[in-house]
Amino acid sequence: MKKIYLFLSMFLCVAMAQAQTNIMAGYNGGFETGDLTGWRFYENESNIGGTCVITTSAHSGTKAAKITFLITSSKDRALDNWDTKPPVVASKVYELKTWLKSDNPSGFKVKVTFGYFDESGTFLGSSDLIRSVTTTYKEYSFQTLAPPTATSCFMAFRLIDPALGPNSKAAGTLYVDDVQLYQLQTNSFNALNSLNGNFELGTIDNWRFVELGPSSPISTANISSTDAHSGRYAANITWGQSAAITELLFDQYLNITPGVTYTYSAWAKSLSGPFILQISSAFIDASSKVISTSQGMDKSWILSADYTQHSFVLPTAPPEATRLNIGFRAFNADGSRWPATDVECLIDDVQLNQPLTSNPSALSMLHQVPCQIYPNPATEYINIQSSNKLQSASIYSISGQKVKDINSKFDNINISDLLSGIYFVKVNADGVDSTQKLVIK
C-alpha cells in the first residue's frame, strides 16, 4: 500500500510539473540556438566596448550568454529582451527564474529587472531583484504581479556595485543561463516575495532601521541564524532606550496598487519579556507625499517567548497611492511609549498579501445573505447561522489558501487546529455565497 501511495504522489508531482509551462521555452531562454536570438546587449551610449557572446560555460545544455561590462560613463547597459515581448496575462502572478554566475564577484551584485508592456507596447513599469553573485552558477527567482492592462513582458540583467547604489555600474563578467518564466496558479500575491521578507538573504537588505535621536546608535538591527521561525534566518532587533530618541522604526517601502485592500502578517517572538510590537503604515503618492497614516496603526500584538503570528488588514489603498511604508515599533505591554527598558525580539516571514479577484479575502461581497458567525473572535469552536438554508462553508487563510471545508454540521465547528490570525469564511446558503471575516485567537 505504501508503494502505491508513493507512486501516486510521484505521479501527481510529475503531472503538476508538466502542467506548468515555461513561457521562455520559445524565446531562447537557454541560449541553445547558439546565438542571441531574441536578446540584445544594450548600451547607452552605444559602442563603448562591452560585449555579450555565447559561451560553452553553461549551467545546463551546451550554451549560455556571457556579458563583459566595462567601467565607463555609460548611462545604462544590460542584456535584455526588450524587443521580443513574451506574452503574459493581465493581473496574474509570474515567477522569473534564471541561473547566474560571475568570474569576479568581488562585492558586486546582479540586478535582475522584470517589466511589463500593454497591448500598444507602452512600458507599464518594472521590479528589480538585487542579489550577490558568486563564481559558480546559482539560481535566482522572484515573483511579480502583472498590471491590469499588461499583455507582454521583458527581463534584463546587469552587474552593479552596491557601494555606489542600485543604478551603478561595475566592471566584470556575468553569465546568464536557463531563463524561465512561469504563470503561477495562486489566489493572492505576496508583495514581499522578492524583498527579503523572510530574511533568507542573511541580511536586512531592502529594510531600513531608523533611529532619530542620539548621535551614537543605541539600538541594533541585524540577522540571527540560530532561532528563525522558518528557514535559516530572522531579523534580530534590539530597541534601545533614551529620552533623546524621537523615532525608532524597522521598516521598508513597497510599490502598491491603488484601490487594493492588503493584509500584512509576520511572525515574531520576544527575547526580553512581553512587549508590544506595533505595525505602522503610511500610504505615499508619486510625489513622495504621505497621504494617510492614522488608520494604519495596530498595537494589538503582545510578543511572548514563543513565535506567534499577527495579521493586520490595512485600509484600502487610496486612488493616489503608489507606495506603502510599513514597519515595526516597540511599545510597553500596556500600550505606552517607550518600553521601560531595552527590549529585543526576532521577526521572520513577513508578508504583504494582495488578494486577487478569485480570493475570498478580497471582501468583494456582491451577494450577501443573512449570516452570523459566532463567537468572533473565537478560540476553539464557531457556529454559523442563517435565515437561509445553509449548504456549505469554507475557511480561507489571509493568503487565499483553503484550510477547512464545512459541508454538513454548522454548529460547534472545531477550529482549534487553526493558528491564531485573520481568516475569511465563505458561506453558501440557498446557492448564494457570502464572505465574512473571522478572527481566531
**SS3 state of residue 401:** coil
Please name the helix (run of DSSP H) or strand (run of DSSP E) that holds residue 330, with its range, or none. Answer: strand 321-331
Q: Categorize the per-residue pLDDT at 336 as very low, low, confident or very high, splitting at 50, 70 and 90.
A: confident
**SS3 state of residue 170:** coil
**SS3 state of residue 29:** coil
Q: What is the mean pLDDT of the chain?
A: 84
Q: How far is CA 68 from the centre of its chain?
A: 31
Look at strands 138-145 and 188-190 and give their pairing.
Answer: unpaired
DSSP string, 267-313: EEEESSS-EEEEEEEEEEETTS-EEE-GGG-B---EE-SS-EEEEEE
- If you average pLDDT over residues 56-74, what whole number do you get? 89
Nearest to 422 by CA among 412, 407, 437, 433: 437
pLDDT for residue 223: 94
Q: Which residues contact 287 (CB under 8 A, 6 or more apart)?
A: none
pLDDT for residue 275: 93
pLDDT for residue 432: 67
Per residue in 337-361, pLDDT tens? Answer: 878 889 999 999 999 988 775 443 3
Q: Which residues contact 286 (CB under 8 A, 6 or more apart)?
A: 320, 322
- If you average pLDDT over residues 67-94, what whole number do you get? 87
Per residue in 112-154, pLDDT tens? Answer: 999 999 999 999 888 888 888 889 999 988 888 888 889 999 9
**Would the pLDDT of 430 be above 80?**
no
Output 86 or 385, whichever has higher pLDDT. Answer: 86
Q: Which amino acid is at 102?
A: S
* CATH 2.40.128 matches 360-440: no
What is the phi/psi pair of residue 144, to 5°? -140, 160
108-112, 166-170, 283-287, 408-412: range with lowest mean pLDDT: 166-170
Per residue in 182-218, pLDDT tens? Answer: 998 877 788 888 888 999 888 898 899 998 888 788 8
pLDDT for residue 359: 40
Helices (runs of H) and strands (runs of E) counted in the chain? 1, 29
Residue holding cell 524597522? Answer: 250
Hey, where are the domains in the chain? 19-185, 208-354, 360-440
Residue holding cell 533614551? Answer: 242
Share of the chain above pLDDT 70, in %: 88
Superfamily of domain 19-185: Galactose-binding domain-like (2.60.120.260)
44-48, 127-131, 302-306: range with lowest mean pLDDT: 44-48
Per residue in 1-39, pLDDT tens? Answer: 434 444 444 444 444 434 578 999 999 999 999 999 999
Residue 211 and residue 219 in contact, taking contact as beta carbons nearer than 8 Å = yes
**Would the pLDDT of 312 be above 50?**
yes
- If you average pLDDT over residues 254-278, what whole number do you get? 90
Tell me the CATH number of domain 208-354, given options 2.60.120.260, 3.40.50.300, 3.40.640.10, 2.40.110.10. 2.60.120.260
Output 71 or 38, whichever has higher pLDDT. Answer: 38
pLDDT for residue 7: 42
pLDDT for residue 6: 42
User: Please, how many CA atoms are within 13 Å of residue 240, restricted to the half-sphere of its CB?
Assistant: 17
**SS3 state of residue 10:** helix
**SS3 state of residue 246:** coil
Nearest to 425 by CA among 374, 380, 354, 379: 374
- Residue 42: all three cell numbers together: 544594450
Same fold, 208-354 and 360-440: no
pLDDT for residue 10: 43
